[in-house]
Structure formats: C-alpha cells, structure tokens
Amino acid sequence: MAVLSDGIAGAAGADQVLHTARQVFDEFKPGDRPSLERLGQLLQDIVNETHLVMKMNAVMGGAGEQAESHASFVGLVLTPHGEAVWGHVGDSRLYHFRDARCLARTNDAAYVQHLMSSDRLPEEAARNHRKSKLLLNVMGNSRKQPFVTVGSHTGLAPGDVFLLASDGLWHFFTDGELAAATGRATPRQASEMLINKAQERSQGKGGNCSMAIVKLAKPAQDGFAGKARRGA
C-alpha cells in the first residue's frame, strides 16, 4: 500500500493520516484473495477513521474550528494478481501511466456530482466547492464528511507507473510531462527532476511538493542462474 497526504495549514493532519493508515492496514485481514470492493472499503475505512480522530483532536484542543487540522488523501493498494485499487479525497491526485500515456487520473467529478445529487446544489456552486469551507472535501472538516472517490484497474503490466502527488507538484505539469518523466527514469531520478522543475516553475511561490512513485518491474526469472551453473 502507498499513501500520500498533504496537510492544510500545517503537517499535523498529514501525519495523522499516515499514522492511522498504518494502523488500519495492519488490522486488515485480507484472506486468500480480497475482492476489489473489499480493498476499496479498506481505503474508505482509513479515511473515515482518520477523519474521526482528527475531529476528536480538534475538540480536545479546545479551540473549535480554529484547532482543526485538515488533510487530503490518496491511497493505492496493489495485489499479487495484477490489480490496483485507489481512493482519494481532496486536491492530491493519483495518476496511472503506461507507455508514456495517462490511463487514469483522479479528479473531483464524482464529488461534484455528489454535491448536486445529495446536497441539491446547483452545478456552478458544486464546481466551486473549493472556495467554501462548508463544502471543502478534506479530512478533519467538522462541517462536512469526506467524500472518497474509489477507482480500480486490472491487468497491470511491467512498466506501469503510479504517481501519487500533492497539488504543489501536479499543478505545474501536464499529464504528458508527468508520464514522460516517470516512465523514462527511476523513481528517485524522476522525483528529483520533478521537484526541481516544480520549484523553478512556481518561482518559489508553490505549495508543499510531495509525491510517491510506484513503478512495476518484470518478475525475476527464478532458477535461471542455477540452470546456467549446471550447464557450465
């Protein structure tokens, strides 16, 4: 599992996300082969549990909404069967690249539709949800339960790349630029290159620049070396 969280107005919220995600994941009993639905529910459980803890921390802080810590969330679970399940809340994103093409990218379309159908908001107000504290989709917001968008993909292949990124990073790149950077270089090389370029393009005025890169490699050829030795 890979998790990325971007705290708003401080790192406390993001730290809580990572701590709770580890706890919930460690308690998860996958069985022989958990379904994609179960893995999606695991990610939702992480969000719900973290949101509850963050609200409790704010109440114990005694300063009401001013003590609230907010954070975005992106979580990715990979299985040994070539499956991926992800969930996200807020402005942080997940990308899935293959052969320098973007196969999937998280967005807020499902949350906008949720606001229109469940909260009966007009479309324009729903699309401008980031400007409203009441509608802000984050963990820790006492006014709004976080909305988790879950996605999945089967048939993963060697060379597939997943990028989890805060808005301080993805805001400065096109999908094609991110696909090219993560596809051609190692995760470490790509991270350094993207961070340097984001800082250059933001002219020192960008937000927190965080990412996680997961690149699938070809499976090792078990026994190949031993056979070579026996044939020598």
Measured between alpha carbons, how far is 213 from 232 in angstroms, rounded to an integer? 40
DSSP 50-99: HHHHHHHHHHHHTSGGGG--EE-EEEEEE-TTSEEEEEEESS-EEEEEET
pLDDT score, position 191: 96
Question: And the tokens for 95?
Answer: 């990308």
Q: Is the Cβ–Cβ distance between 102 and 96 less than 8 Å?
A: yes
Instruction: Give the N- to C-terminal CA distance of the chain in Å, as an integer.
Output: 42
Q: Give start and end residues of each alpha helix (H) in the chain.
A: 12-27, 36-61, 109-118, 123-127, 167-170, 175-184, 187-202, 224-231
pLDDT beneath 50, residues of the chain = 223-232
Q: Is the Cβ–Cβ distance between 187 and 213 less than 8 Å?
A: yes
| Residue 104 bridge partners (DSSP) | 96
pLDDT score, position 67: 65
Measured between alpha carbons, how far is 203 from 86 in angstroms, rounded to an integer? 32
Measured between alpha carbons, how far is 114 from 38 in angstroms, rounded to an integer? 22
The structure's pTM equals 0.88
Measured between alpha carbons, how far is 79 from 139 in angstroms, rounded to an integer? 26
Q: Which helix (H) or strand (E) holds 129?
A: none
Query: Which domains are present in the chain?
Result: 2-218 (3.60.40.10)
Query: Which amino acid, 82?
Result: G
Q: Which residue has the tokens 């509850």?
A: 52
Span 124-134, pLDDT tens digits: 888 888 777 77
